[in-house]
Structure 1
């Protein structure tokens, strides 16, 4: 296996997360209310429709954007935005997943520390089948939870609540460079259910804004053979990977100045395309019970067991990617 030592760096760097938490907090500042801007503005697709329609639970309405396939959806995927961001920043990623036949929903709500209170409310509403999609579309029975950064923590908490309620249609999680807060490990363990439900992540290079991949400890504690991939680095200086992937690759062309300033990097079109390919393929597999072998490894420690798409990224010198392990 080529360049094995750099691939161990993310887990080593993750141990530094506690020391840089205060720095990251200064970077992003106080959490403003999530933007009320309509994610569906300017949306166009021949196979899906974007609709802004709130989710109402117990008389309280929560702003939400929906991506609806023209036909019958194979599943519902929560695709939640990050801290101080909004659903409009994940428009392209949501579209890519919806075009694989899934219904996608994103809540325009505060995601500070994963917003555990709201996660419980939404988890209960989904378990009770009390969420009503717009345009008369039926609510799918298969659920996948997913999200970016702090939204990834929110998604894990929603999944945990579904698992606690015994909802049989929970199929797993697909996360985009999640940033863990208190309770993240327990939430992922509940979603995974001993490996019976896949939990998969697409990570960026280690940085202050993702607390140096502080989600990796929870992901590797699941004991699964494959929990995702860290996208490529463009160079290694003094043994430390840099360049290449960015924390906001999931936002891609939908990001803005605040996103770039907070992440201290700009999305790369190639990395964004890779992220959306993995995310949409994994989501479709979870919803339909299939497995696109090219996008997984049987054993993350053995490159020879990886499918062609993963292997094309990890079995090279530079740029370098790695399965999360």
Structure 2
């Protein structure tokens, strides 16, 4: 979520004070994650979602501006039900040291540290594996192994963050980059300060990393579509994703949204939130398996996607 205007700080604080909705998955394990921030370490809340069997991949699901992991709980549950191990951390939207999800000064050092979480994901004693182990132990659950294969999914400002972290893996954590199977951007929002998403997409564009987008029409909450514009001008791909013509910014949150999100950014129609989940799951499955299922892609550059026939195809400018 992203809004202009002098009321931004007040709205953000009110949004943060509202209780995040409870996630629906029975296997949601609440926990924490330690992330370096300047000379300190932030202990952030983080939810883990465990699949019923061996996980197909680790999926990082990142919420949007002034939101929390609970607001993407329904989405994370859907992914876990499909066999993925899901990591959904809370990221700050205000921090005097610049350790924020969106760029309100210079958050690049913080995002470098977030990238390092994944660069050391399988290392004994690494922050990510420690977070999972602690959450599992508190819940009395066996600790699953973190899969080697990764998928990143980000909503709103979280989309900019996951794209930037993906590019950071390419330049500084090559071994982990080689295990990243794809990125899904959900109504991406570009920060007004800096050029994080531009730099990220420029770097990714020269690779074969699948990067696909599901957008809503321009609105104040998605900064009038400037994140989607960045995708369309920076990524050199024949198919960039889809725009849901009756979509709203909260489609990614679906039933996990709240009164504040719906009042400011619209109430998601069930057809749109279900289409978003269907496409995201279809693409992720192809990312991980190395396949291309025809239902989730247009047969021709300006055709339709069978799994979302009402959606508009996103292509480059």
Q: Give the TM-score taking structure 1 as reference length.
A: 0.77
5+ long unaligned stretches in structure 2: 94-100, 137-142
Which residue number in structure 1 is paired with residue 218 of structure 2?
206
- How far apart in 2 are the matches of 1:119 and 1:195? 21
- How far apart in 2 are the matches of 1:34 and 1:144? 27
Aligned in 2, Cα 1:148/1:95: closer, same or farther, shift over 3 Å? same
Which residue number in structure 2 is paired with residue 77 of structure 1?
59
Which residue number in structure 1 is paired with residue 33 of structure 2?
55
2:260 is aligned, of 258, 261, 268, to: 258
Once the two structures are superposed, what CA deviation does each residue of 1:20-46 show, in whole Å capped at 9, x if it has no partner? Answer: x9x62446435449569676x46345x
Q: Is the 8 A contact 1:34 1:110 kept in 2?
A: no
Q: Is the 8 A contact 1:163 1:170 kept in 2?
A: no
Which residue number in structure 1 is paired with residue 198 of structure 2?
185
- How far apart in 1 are the matches of 2:77 and 2:289? 18
2:181 is aligned, of 138, 150, 171, to: 171
Aligned in 2, Cα 1:42/1:150: closer, same or farther, shift over 3 Å? closer
Which residue number in structure 2 is paired with residue 43 of structure 1?
24
- Report SS of the residue matched to 1:43: coil
- Report SS of the residue matched to 1:248: helix
- How far apart in 2 are the matches of 1:42 and 1:203? 23
5+ long unaligned stretches in structure 1: 1-20, 233-243, 315-320
Which residue number in structure 2 is paired with residue 7 of structure 1?
none
Shift of 1:57: 4.7
- How far apart in 1 are the matches of 2:196 and 2:80? 29
Once the two structures are superposed, what CA deviation does each residue of 1:68-90 show, in whole Å capped at 9, x if it has no partner? Answer: 11211111111111111111111
- How far apart in 2 are the matches of 1:73 and 1:34? 32
**Cα root mean square deviation, aligned:** 2.4
1:147 is aligned, of 145, 148, 154, to: 154
Shift of 1:153: 1.1
Corresponding pairs, count: 277
Which residue number in structure 2 is paired with residue 230 of structure 1?
243
Q: Is the 8 A contact 1:35 1:86 kept in 2?
A: no
Aligned in 2, Cα 1:148/1:28: closer, same or farther, shift over 3 Å? farther
Q: Is the 8 A contact 1:178 1:215 kept in 2?
A: yes
